[in-house]
Amino acid sequence: MLLLRSSPFLHHLPTPTSLTSITSHTHHLQPHFPLRLPVPTTTTTTTLSSQRHRLFPSKSIPLLRCSALSSSPVTSQLKDSLMYSRAYWVSESIIAWDVDVGINGSLYLFASETASLSITDGDYGIQGHDVKFKLEEDTHGLPQNVMEKFPHIKDYRAFKVPPSLDAKVLLKCQLAVAAFDDVGKCSNITGLQLPGILDELFSYSGPLGAVYSTEAIALFLWAPTAQAVRACIYKDSSGGSPLEIVQLEETKGVWSTKGPKSWDGCYYVYEVSVYHPSTLQIVKCHANDPYARGLSANGGRTLFVDLDSDTLKPDGWEKLALEKPDLLSFSDTSIYELHVRDFSASDLTVDNEFRGGYLAFTLQDSAGIRHLKKLSDAGLTHVHLLPAFQFADVDDEKEKWKSVDTEILEKFSPDSAEQQALITAIQNSDGYNWGYNPVLWGVPKGSYASNPNGSCRVIEFRRMVKALNHIGLRVVLDVVYNHLHASGPYDENSVLDKIVPGYYLRRNTDGFIENSTCVNNTASEHFMVERLIIDDLLHWVVNYKVDGFRFDLMGHIMKRTMMKAKDAISSLTKEKNGVDGSSVYIYGEGWDFGEVARNGRGVNASQVNLSGTGIGSFNDRIRDAILGGSPFGHPLQQGFVTGLLLQPNDHDHGTAAGEMLAASKDHIQVGMAANLRDFVLTNCLGKEVKGSEVLTHGSAPVGFASNPTETVNYVSAHDNETLFDIISLKTPMEISVNERCWINHLATSIIALSQGIPFFHAGDELLRSKSMDRDSYNSGDWFNRLDFTYNSNNWGVGLPPKQKNEKSWPLIKPRLADPSFKPQRSHILAAVENFSNLLRIRYSSPLFRLRTATAIQERVRFHNTGPSSIPGVIVMSIEDGHESQHGLSQLDPIYSYIVVVINARPTEVSFTSPALRAKHFELHPVQLMSTDEVIKASTYEESTGCFVVPSRRTSVFVEPRKF
């Protein structure tokens, strides 16, 4: 909607259609009563019953009685059926329901404007309805377009709605369909799900939200099922009586009004009178604007705010698009995942008032900023911020937060349960949460701002983006469109489900909200949900100039939505919109599960489905192969770098450990080739296979991408244990902390030197620990601390919170209690240097960042393959062309050939390759200049093609063009 800001103001819209126009055909209508809406106490409104034609009963309708499932009185099972919505009004002419009415049975649609439908005993039948209509079955079944839109009900029966019926008015009522047997007894009844017909009749592309013009402010709200809408205007962020209450008027499902410019800086709340299926009542819902661009603390009220106002723009804001860090290709992207609060909450070099918030990123010389500058200088391109929109479970008003004195926590032993007990006692009242519990997508989170009221959060978020850009880092926003924190008519954090109940949230075949993503799954397959998502993304790009989006549980979003969003963003230009949309990178979690699995609700944005789109998906295959097992498997399951076969722990891996290690190497090699589905390599059995023909343990293809930017390679993220913690858990207890640190580096090196997009969790380069917490979303600053002074990695700060970790406490406790597990400052400093060096190596040559699948297939080769290969060793070469020779084009002016040798073995390894003999390889200059004396022992012998690499090291050999 940001593109509509300059649109001519749309004047007051006409009053809603009345029930008089439901139909001019009176057949199948029962006697009715005047239909009246709840009338606001201070304003007038048009009722559905105004000026309607009289509807006459049909004499042909048999008496309809509710029968008990066995005998009268009616059973509670049938009476409770109105709580369900098992039928679907899928189009204006079709209702779908999985019910057989029999040869002589009948089906009726009932409507009650006052939500008075009820089922009674005896001959009174279904009562409380204002009108009812007989439906005839369509023996042809559901139309093709309906089955495509709603594949989960493709086998339902289709019932024809009378063509003269005006559905637009009925949709504001309580609705039910009931089946009757041949003697008129009710055998089944249910409510209806309405998204299909709402999309058909009310899809809308005009202005929404608060739209500013020269003289006025207009409000537009899409609420086609509402019976009345009022806007309560307030002067202050909380308390007090409204300055005025304005009745909105409706046209085609959109309610609007116009107000004076003096509303700017005031607040408003919508009061929506609407039938809510969760209550079976007409309710008055008080809700924020779904298109809110500002809020009061905790989303109590929506702020009138003009994002185009110069007072809300940092100096130079309009020129920021011209000053963005260079990004020639998405293949040049590298991502650092960071939580806004983690970045500075524990940083004593940041003023107390800035800690944990947006403004901490605007400082010039804090420990955190110095660290980010170091990574940027080494080549890092993007900072990915965990959710920073308005989310629940952290109070925006800091003075209400509770905390635990760290001096008390520091007195307990490293393996004590006392720390977690004190933290969890106040965890819902402190200032910490990851933020994956969205309330309003389009407003920055208030708790990160210096003042949650007014427009502070707007300008401070912008200052953060500008500051990060100026130190060479683009900004990715973590978006959570797959679910909402709350639903229903009364929850203070519920918004969309108050405005159009039953539309925005995906429901199961009983009519209840799907919760596979956590809670309150959204339904991007519905037109206005998809539109809201796309509008929100455009808003963040244009109004906050963000450079990318990471989609939480992207697989629960439809592929069509993702493609429309990508196209809409890509069309933005510096000239028209002040931003270059073509440089915005989009990626997410393409997991395929829940009700959307196997395209259960349409073609979803899963890993496999997104092949060829240019949208990135997290590569869990390489993560699991590197570390071992999966986040859902046995915690001691080892992988390629954690000692599988070569340095076993106490876990019984069976007799197939060697096969598992070989398979892990295949998975990693596919991942290092950007996880391309068509990349050809020699597998552990000596067969030439494509990436898609290498299978996971669940028989899914390892390779799913068609081009390198569709793969986001990672080994750790905010979810699950940190990299250092999982290594400390899976490796044998008797090895040294120094060895664990080098295993940490080894895992990171695989990601850093792979084709595709490398992704790093903040702190991987600091040996970050969360004291082995596997889910620290609500574990407070104590377990989530980052120390950019490099004095501590936060290991051993107590047993992690009981709720998510208690089952693993017997494994965790002895490790935390052992002082030898804790890294020293020297280890952390070495880790930072190693990580920076990996970035420098990646950005030293375009050969590490090949832009096409063809280039990867032509240039990347894996050696040490097949059944006779050395276990635990990966050898990858990348070849460049020569200007004087035909064949490969020349991409790198410095190096003509690169070889990466990854040695996960606990001992030095020698590997001889005839294919690489007679080259002029030398150790990469970055590694030669490092403080790691061990890596400098890596050698290559030209006459034999023999590489020697120390234990648990990744050595990079280059052939300079000078040869």
Residue after which a domain boundary falls, among 546, 575, 610:
610
What's the N-to-C CA distance of the chain in angstroms? 58
Structure tokens at 713: 């390679």
**Same-domain status, 462 and 524:** yes
| Listed residue (24, 20, 26, 9) closest to 46, CA to CA | 20
Parts of the chain with a pLDDT under 70: 1-77, 121-124, 963
Query: Which domain, by its residues, includes 899?
Result: 618-767+823-960
CA distances from 579 to 479, 576, 616, 788, 818 (A): 19, 8, 21, 32, 53
Instruction: Confirm if 849 and 859 have CB atoms less than 8 A apart.
Output: no
Query: Does 709 map to a domain?
Result: yes
**Same-domain status, 191 and 229:** no
| Listed residue (915, 885, 893) closest to 847, CA to CA | 893
Q: How far apart are CA 38 and CA 284, in angstroms?
A: 9
Instruction: Confirm if 322 and 313 have CB atoms less than 8 A apart.
Output: no
* Burial of residue 575, with CB atoms counted within 10 A of its CB: 0-12 exposed, 13-18 middle, 19 or more buried: exposed
Choose, from 393, 589, 781, 959, the residue flagged as catalytic: 589
Q: Given the DSSP bridges, would you call strands 65-66 and 185-190 parallel, antiparallel or unpaired?
A: parallel
Helix (H, G, I), strand (E, B) or coil at 872: coil
Max Cα-Cα span within the chain: 102
**Same-domain status, 888 and 753:** yes
Q: Cβ–Cβ contacts within 10 Å for residue 928, how many?
A: 11
Domain count, the chain: 3
Helix (H, G, I), strand (E, B) or coil at 925: helix
* Burial of residue 190, with CB atoms counted within 10 A of its CB: 0-12 exposed, 13-18 middle, 19 or more buried: buried
| Listed residue (691, 687, 683, 764) closest to 726, CA to CA | 764
**Same-domain status, 290 and 374:** yes
Instruction: Confirm if 710 and 887 have CB atoms less than 8 A apart.
Output: no
| Listed residue (556, 255, 327, 293) closest to 443, CA to CA | 293
User: Known catalytic residue: 306?
Assistant: no
Query: Does 173 map to a domain?
Result: yes
DSSP 140: T
**Same-domain status, 528 and 390:** yes
**Same-domain status, 239 and 283:** yes
* DSSP conformation letters of 517-576: TSSSBB-TTSHHHHHHHHHHHHHHHHHH---EEEETTGGGSBHHHHHHHHHHHHT--HHH
Q: Cβ–Cβ contacts within 10 Å for residue 137, how many?
A: 17
Query: Does 784 map to a domain?
Result: no
Angle formed by the axes of helices 367-378 and 825-842, to 10°? Answer: 40
**Same-domain status, 173 and 232:** no
User: Known catalytic residue: 552?
Assistant: yes
CA distances from 168 to 164, 227, 252, 620, 654 (A): 12, 11, 8, 47, 65
Residue after which a domain boundary falls, among 201, 218, 252:
201
The pLDDT score that the predictor gives to residue 121 is 66
* DSSP conformation letters of 790-840: SS-----SSSPPHHHHGGGHHHHHHHHH-GGGSPPHHHHHHHHHHHHHHHH
Alpha helices in 844-940 (DSSP H): 853-859, 925-928
| Listed residue (350, 605, 370) closest to 471, CA to CA | 370
**Same-domain status, 252 and 348:** yes
Q: How far apart are CA 618 and CA 603, in angstroms?
A: 18
For Cα atoms 177, 181, 183, give the angle at the middle one, nearest 5 degrees: 125
Q: How far apart are CA 620 and CA 611, in angstroms?
A: 16
The pLDDT score that the predictor gives to residue 43 is 34
Residue after which a domain boundary falls, among 550, 584, 610:
610
DSSP 673: B
**Same-domain status, 587 and 629:** no
Structure tokens at 426: 């106040």
CATH of residue 125's domain is 2.60.40.1130
**Same-domain status, 570 and 506:** yes
Q: What is the pTM of this model?
A: 0.93
| Listed residue (372, 379, 432) closest to 402, CA to CA | 432
**Same-domain status, 211 and 296:** yes
Choose, from 342, 536, 552, 892, the residue flagged as catalytic: 552
pLDDT digits (tens, 9 = 90+) for 751-792: 999 999 999 999 999 999 999 999 999 999 999 999 999 999
Beta-ladder partners of 180: 106, 186
Radius of gyration of the chain (CA): 31
**Same-domain status, 174 and 216:** no
Instruction: Confirm if 269 and 232 have CB atoms less than 8 A apart.
Output: yes
Query: Does 900 map to a domain?
Result: yes
Q: How far apart are CA 906 and CA 648, in angstroms?
A: 11
Query: Does 877 map to a domain?
Result: yes
Helix (H, G, I), strand (E, B) or coil at 645: coil
509: Cα separation from own chain's centroid: 25
pLDDT digits (tens, 9 = 90+) for 155-178: 999 999 999 899 999 999 999 999
Helix (H, G, I), strand (E, B) or coil at 843: coil
Query: Does 400 map to a domain?
Result: no
CA distances from 216 to 213, 237, 256, 264 (A): 5, 21, 13, 9
Query: Does 41 map to a domain?
Result: no
Query: Does 227 map to a domain?
Result: yes
CATH of residue 376's domain is 3.20.20.80
CA distances from 840 to 379, 817, 926 (A): 6, 37, 7
